[in-house]
Structures are given as C-alpha cells and as structure tokens.
Chains A and B, each alone.
Chain A
C-alpha cells in the first residue's frame, strides 16, 4: 500500500494531484503520485537527486503535462490557458523569473498584466512597497544583492494573490539570515491561509516551516507523515529510506 500525503488536514484541498504519472521515453519518472494540500498546509517533498521532485512540481505548476493523472486547483482541473486554476498558483523558484533588462517596476507590472490585474502599475508599486523594495523600484534585477533579489522574486510570485504557492529549492544560494527571513515571511503567509508544496533536497532549511514531509524515491512515495519532533529524529529514518 502506497502511503499518500493527505492525512490530517481539516479544510478542503486547495491543490490536489491524483495518479500523477510521467514518463520520458521509456523512463518512468513518476509512477502514480497522489497528494493534496489545504489552507495552512506546507508539504515538503524531499528525496535524492533524480527522484522526480522537479518533475512533480512542474506538473503541479501546469508547466509540464503529466502522462497520466490530473491536477485540480480549487477543485478545477489545471488546463491550458486562462483559468481559475492557473490564477490560483504561484511559483517561487531558486531562479527569480525576472528579466535583467527591465526594472523591478517594469518586471512586476508585466507580471500583473499577465494575470490581468485591473491596475497593474499600482499593483506593482504596492508589491514592491510590501517587499521593502520601494527605493529600488527603478533598478534592474542584476544590480540587487542575492537577498534583495529573493525578495523581488517573492513579490513577483505573490503579486496576483495566489492561494497555492509552489516552491522549488527556494533556499538555494541564500545565506542564513536571508533564509530565516524567507521562512518568517512564508510562515506568515501560511497563517493567512496559503497552501504550499515545497520541493527541496535540504530538509534542514525547510524543517521549521513545513507541516508535513513526504519522501519521494524512484517516482513513488516511500514515506509521508506529519512533521513531529526534531529534525534530528527524522533524519536517520530518512537516510535509511533513501539508502544513504
């Protein structure tokens, strides 16, 4: 019996995957994955390189087609083009998704226009204000430090008010202080009712944030549990699972 990470959350699922499979040629990367996350849930997906973590996240984001199965966001299938489901998804990755030749204001205004926000310019200004980047609004991303760039990327990811935030190795290249700030910000968003799915190979960075941990190995779940206790008690079990 394959465990599936959908135990023990009260609300309805904001994002839900059923029987997700993905093959590249003959190589089966995902072999039937179920998952769901409700408001306030933060699901960490961990596993060794090549376990299928990035593939899973890209399928959940609607950037990659599954070979089988379906993703539903707010109960609606995640299809192509404009839809309620797509509007509800935000992606924060280790890359900023920002254009180097545009200023922060231009970048965020463009993102706001893509999501059809009514007043894109104001939305961009407000998002920069929230991120504490109002005084850097006219700068290009390449002029920002890694920490400030991360803040701009967060502003880009959240500008349209997503209900589900997908995170792809968001702590990569952040120093300890920046990582702690990111955790604090994400915790506040969780409290406000966001659902998160976070893919990481470094569980230590995410441990203080997540509510559930699921281990992906060879395209299947091999473990899935609510986070309990300290990281030090989980790690030996994790290492045994992935055979380190």
Chain B
C-alpha cells in the first residue's frame, strides 16, 4: 500500500509540475471563478436580497462550476503524445494512477477554491469571522467526494467526442448531494449555529466520500484498460 501511495505521489507530482510550468489552466480557472462571482452579484436584486445572505449559495455554485470546467484537464494532458500508454505500461497498480490523478485534481481545485473564497469575502462583503475553519473543513469534505467522481468521468470524457459537454451532464447530478450538504452547513456556520445542527449533513458528506472514493478507485481500471 505504501508503494502504491508513493507511486500516486509520483503521478500527482508530475501533474502539478506540468501545471506550474504552464499555469494557463490555473489562471483561466481563477478568472472563470471571479467572473461567476461578478455575474452572481449582478444577477440579484440588491433591494430585495443582501449579498451576504446569498453568499453560501454563490460560493458553492461557483466551486461546482469551476471544478466542472477544470476536471477534463487531468486526462487531456495524458492524451498528448500517447502519454497515458506510458503510464499503463509501467509496473504500477491502476489504483495508484487513479489516486495520483485524484490528488492532482484536488490540489488544482483546492487552489482555485482557496483563491475564490477571499474574492467572495471581498465582493459580497461577508464576515466569515470564526466560521472560517469550519468552512474550510466542509469545503475539503465536499470537494473530495465530487472531485473523485469528476476524476473518473474526466478520464472517460476525454476519450469521447463531446468531452466539454458530456462531463458536466454526467457530473452535475453527482454534485447535487455534496453541494446541498455543503450549502446547508456553510449557512449554519455563518449564522453561528451549534455543530449539533449540522450532524446529519456532515455524516452524509463523510459517507459520500467513503463510498465514492472507494468505488471510483475500484472501477478505474475498467476505464483505462482496454
């Protein structure tokens, strides 16, 4: 297992190094997130709805959209020059390839989220205050689950004809439970509610992560092995 984990880190490290070299995808994803926030601000009637009330929903819709548009990237880079064959040829378990890709996607989406959050605070004038650690925690919990599903769907979508359209159609239904849970927890955290009011949602998120990370790791070989 530790060997598989080491190889997963090798794969993830390679992806992040390539990402840091070009930076195009990361910058585009950030600009995309900022634009979504701006559009949300103008898509509300300021006399009816205070920006801060809308903040949890805006935050999570932005995270979901940003994650969706970036998830094809991980396997698009493997398509150039037949690089995926090079991975499959090597004496490494398929599970390690999946975990490596998952870690790279998490790092990528996590970075976008980490930089979107301050923008939200700035644009929507929300005071996170003591809720910030909780929001970061629930973000990590929710992101792990849907990025896991997104990683496997991305691996499939890049091998089809309509990758850009197919991935959101497949992935968005899978984002619904984690997004509902994350919005509920976030708004309760911002309202300063006690943890006991979020127990059900946090259990749902944890269960979702366990089920889908395990399952995606197991079925990944069916996606890449012809």
Q: Interface on A for B, CB 8 Å cutoff?
A: 58, 61-65, 80-83, 86-87, 89, 91, 93, 95-102, 106, 110-111, 113-116, 141, 156
Main secondary structure of the interface of B (DSSP, over half): helix
B158 smallest CB distance to A (angstroms): 15
Hey, which chain A residues are within 8 Å of B83, CB to CB?
Answer: 97-99
Docked-complex contact A102 and B18, CB < 8 angstroms: yes
Docked-complex contact A106 and B17, CB < 8 angstroms: yes
Hey, which chain B residues are within 8 Å of A114, CB to CB?
Answer: 7, 10, 86-87, 90-92
The interface on chain B, measured as residues whose beta carbon lies within 8 A of the other chain's beta carbons, has a size of: 27
B210 at the interface (CB under 8 A from A): no
A81–B87 Cα distance when bound, in Å, is 11
Docked-complex contact A93 and B93, CB < 8 angstroms: no
A241 smallest CB distance to B (angstroms): 28
B210 smallest CB distance to A (angstroms): 24
> Among residues 82 to 129 in chain B, which have CB atoms less than 8 Å away from a CB atom of chain A?
82-83, 85-94
Hey, which chain B residues are within 8 Å of A156, CB to CB?
Answer: 86
Docked-complex contact B89 and A81, CB < 8 angstroms: no
B161 at the interface (CB under 8 A from A): no
Given contacts A65-B225, A100-B80, A101-B21, contact A80 B94 (CB under 8 A): yes
CB-nearest residue of chain A to B20 = A101
Docked-complex contact A86 and B14, CB < 8 angstroms: no
B226 at the interface (CB under 8 A from A): yes
B160 at the interface (CB under 8 A from A): no
16 contacts between A and B (CB under 8 A): A62-B88, A63-B226, A80-B225, A81-B91, A82-B3, A83-B91, A91-B86, A98-B83, A100-B81, A101-B21, A101-B77, A102-B18, A113-B10, A114-B92, A115-B90, A141-B81
Given contacts A63-B226, A99-B77, A114-B10, contact A82 B88 (CB under 8 A): no
Q: Interface on B for A, CB 8 Å cutoff?
A: 3, 7, 10, 14, 17-19, 21-22, 77, 80-83, 85-94, 221, 225-226
Hey, which chain B residues are within 8 Å of A64, CB to CB?
Answer: 225-226
A199–B91 Cα distance when bound, in Å, is 23
Q: Give the residue among A89, A100, A141 with the most B Cβ atoms within 10 A.
A: A100
A80–B4 Cα distance when bound, in Å, is 13
Docked-complex contact B3 and A95, CB < 8 angstroms: no
CB-nearest residue of chain B to A149 = B81
Hey, which chain A residues are within 8 Å of B86, CB to CB?
Answer: 91, 97, 111, 114, 156
Given contacts A65-B226, A114-B87, contact A97 B81 (CB under 8 A): yes
A4 smallest CB distance to B (angstroms): 24
B27 smallest CB distance to A (angstroms): 14
A81–B7 Cα distance when bound, in Å, is 11
Given contacts A58-B226, A63-B226, A110-B10, contact A95 B91 (CB under 8 A): no
Hey, which chain B residues are within 8 Å of A82, CB to CB?
Answer: 3, 91-93
Given contacts A81-B91, A102-B21, contact A95 B225 (CB under 8 A): no
Given contacts A101-B18, A102-B14, contact A96 B81 (CB under 8 A): yes
CB-nearest residue of chain A to B221 = A80
A69 smallest CB distance to B (angstroms): 15
A101–B18 Cα distance when bound, in Å, is 5
A100–B91 Cα distance when bound, in Å, is 23
Hey, which chain A residues are within 8 Å of B19, CB to CB?
Answer: 101
A200–B115 Cα distance when bound, in Å, is 51
Docked-complex contact A81 and B94, CB < 8 angstroms: yes
